[in-house]
Amino acid sequence: MLAQDDFFLAPGIEWFHLGPVIALVSGALVLLVVGALTPRWPRGLYAYVTALTAAVAGGLAVFNWNDITDDGVSTLVGGALAFDTFAQMITITVCAATLLVALVTDDELRRAGKDGPEVYALFLIAATGAVVMGSANDLILLFLGLETLSLALYVLAASDRERPTSQEAGIKYFVLGGFASAFFLYGIALIYGGTQSTNIGEIIGSFQTSVLLDGKDTLVLAGIALLIVGLGFKVAAVPFHMWTPDVYQGAPTNVTAFMASVGKAGAFAAMLRVLVIALPFHRDDWRPAIWVLAVLSLVIGSVLAVVQTDVKRMLAYSSISHAGFILVGVEAAGHNAGELAPGDGMPSVLTYLLLYSVLTVGSFAVVSLVARNNGGDTSLDAFKGLAQRRPTIALALTVFLLAQAGVPLTSGFIAKWGVIQAAVEEESYAIAIIAMVAAVVAAFLYLRIMVSTWLETGAESTEREAVPFSTGVAVFSAAAFTLLIGVWPGWLLDAAESVTTYAK
């Protein structure tokens, strides 16, 4: 009970700085409440409202970035949220991917006669969770963001009730994701036991001002191990990747694109917040674990992707390989975590997340176009003769595949070059060499798809894939961005350099 002279002092709320989160939540509420109380909206309006909401949230993040550049970093809501360029870049990444996925989803739902506000609202709710994960300055709030993202993804994966594979994907993701969340939460509890706080700034302060005795350091180390297990599942790193191929293949293709972009961006943002920002004094403890996860993900993801025959499973294992590349950047960031000269590890990771999110949405958008004209078939055979039927779509797919392979003059080359260069600068030569070899192995996977698309003829090569307007806009925008960054990457790399100044 509060004493008579004690008063509860509510934290100040910086409403404009919270604009991106407020915009995403408001858009979800409009879709759910107004959509439930009104007749079915005109064609495509659900998708356009979702895309507009994501665009507004991303635009507000750009305004916030300018404010941070002028006034410096800070914290919001009593230190619970970080107001820095790191958070704004994750927000922009999440909003860009959400906008593109909404456009791709429009035709899929209307064609199946399932157009409605529910899926779009879940997209915005999941995006809100990912943004909170990237902005959280408290481990409890980070966990709430993680669960908001995860619960929405569980439902989205099982959203196609007419396909048993979708139901299977949802239940697998839910069961394994529940275990991962339990590991993560237990890890937070142990960190709290060792530092007496869940606030990132206070955790750092506890390491700066005191020496952990009486087993408290053991609690922190055990907590770090459990946090890595939970986050390893969310980023689909080997050996926590078991769910990825089945869930990616079974879920609706638009949902798969969303998981591969927004889900991965939020999870890696959480990993950077927890390991690099909150626990820099234990970098020598967690960095070897990240090194092992990166190598396993690079090797196993690349090798297993090559032997697949279904394109969605190929891209699922490819996403595991990409997680390995991003972990290379995380490992590089760990070398100088907490120091005044943090290096290029963190900027390379955030750049990779943005570029990969855009090109993976574009890749799955093309897969959805091919699948819907082939009875849902996403095998390599379905892509035979695509160049004869739809040369522009085949060209866009080729751009995305070349980018994922890391070919110069594409955004994928900039992304992979960035993380490998960051590793080389920290003298992590072994992991850099392994990453380059894995890139060569994975290139064979993308070559297989391109061969089917351009050089082979399918049994029904005369049927042309119909390209809806919104999906065409999404594919064209993603392809144009992929080429633009490949040719003119300087402005993005310069912007990413500022993310090493973060609030705590």
Please, are residues 97 and 358 in contact by the beta-carbon 8 Å criterion?
Answer: yes
Strands (E), 48-156: 74-76, 81-83
Instruction: Tell me how many degrees the CA angle 170-171-177 measures, rounded to the nearest 5.
Output: 90
Taking the CA atoms of 30, 36, 38 and 43 in sequence, report the sign of the dihedral they define: positive
Phi then psi for 214, rounded to 5 degrees? 55, 40
Phi then psi for 28, rounded to 5 degrees? -65, -40
Q: Are strands 81-83 and 74-76 parallel, antiparallel or unpaired?
A: antiparallel
How far apart, in Å, are the Cα atoms of 203 and each of 141, 194, 274, 279, 487?
14, 9, 10, 8, 42
DSSP summary character for residue 41: P
Question: Other CB atoms closer than 10 Å to residue 318's CB: what's the count?
Answer: 27
**CA 236 to chain CA centroid, nearest Å:** 11
Terminal CA-to-CA distance of the chain, rounded, Å?
31
For 413, residues 6+ apart whose C-beta sits below 8 A from its C-beta are 403, 406, 407, 486
| 469-487 vs 411-425: helix crossing angle, rounded to 10 | 40
Domain ranges across the chain: 19-500
Return per-residue pLDDT of the chain as tens, 504 residues. Answer: 445 556 667 777 888 899 999 999 999 999 999 888 888 888 888 999 999 999 999 999 999 998 888 888 888 888 889 998 999 999 999 999 999 999 999 888 887 777 788 899 999 999 999 999 999 999 999 999 999 999 999 999 998 888 888 889 999 999 999 999 999 999 999 999 888 888 888 888 887 776 655 556 788 899 999 999 999 999 999 899 889 999 999 999 999 999 999 999 999 999 999 999 988 888 889 999 999 999 999 999 999 998 888 899 999 999 999 999 999 999 999 988 777 777 788 999 999 999 999 999 999 999 998 888 777 788 888 888 888 888 999 999 999 999 999 999 999 999 999 999 999 999 899 999 999 999 999 999 899 999 989 887 765 544 566 788 888 999 999 999 999 999 999 899 988 888 877 666
Closest C-alpha among 423, 238, 260, 265 to residue 329 = 423
* Bridge partners of residue 81, in order along the sequence: 76, 136
Please, are residues 141 and 81 in contact by the beta-carbon 8 Å criterion?
Answer: yes
Closest C-alpha among 133, 137, 135 to residue 146 = 133
